[in-house]
Amino acid sequence: MIHANLGRLAGMRAPSPVTSTLHPDQVLVVFDGTCGLCSDIAGWTMRLDWRRKLAWLPAQTPGLLDAVGLTPRDADTAAWAIMPDGEPRRGAAAIAAATDALLPGGPPLCATLQRLPGLRGASDAAYAWVARNRGRWPGHPVCDRRPPPPLDDTVRWEIERRHERFCLG
């Protein structure tokens, strides 16, 4: 119910999380656009991202999964963050990367906390529980009425650059 109350408290619906650009310093977050909870979290996070450090794209974006090297099963089981250096992060680590991108300056707090004994396992277990039960949460899926537009060429180019950098680096 916390999620449902968040929208009521703010007095508005989450903005559409679909982005059309990807800059070299942004973390790309791939999420399930048919999931209302996932879509609303992406939308609210974009509202908080005043420095524009995150780019959100639904996994249903034509050509996206191939471009980032994910399978449909990968995308069905977890959100993914593709870091500016091309490193892919899954599940709780992806959420930690997105949260760290929102924090101004300093070391990556959430990623650092995940290195503490027991905390990584606990955050992975919590993420897995939410992911398994995400259909029970209310929300507004971005892919409920129509599929997102195909992957933009500039976004595809930036993804390819990251992939090459990570694989060769």
Residues 32-45: tens digit of each pLDDT: 998 999 999 998 99
CA atoms within 13 A on the CB side of 75: 23
pLDDT, tens digit, 9 for 90 and up, residues 3-55:
443 444 344 444 455 666 899 999 999 999 989 999 999 989 988 999 999 99
- To the nearest 10°, report the CA torsion of 32, 118, 103, 1: 50
**Is residue 28 within 8 Å of residue 64, measured between CB atoms?**
no
Both tokens assigned to 60: 């249903």
> Residue 150: its pLDDT value, please?
84
Domain boundaries along the sequence of the chain = 2-144
**pLDDT, tens digit (0-9, with 9 covering 90-100), for 59-112:** 999 999 999 999 999 999 999 999 999 999 999 999 999 999 999 876 788 888
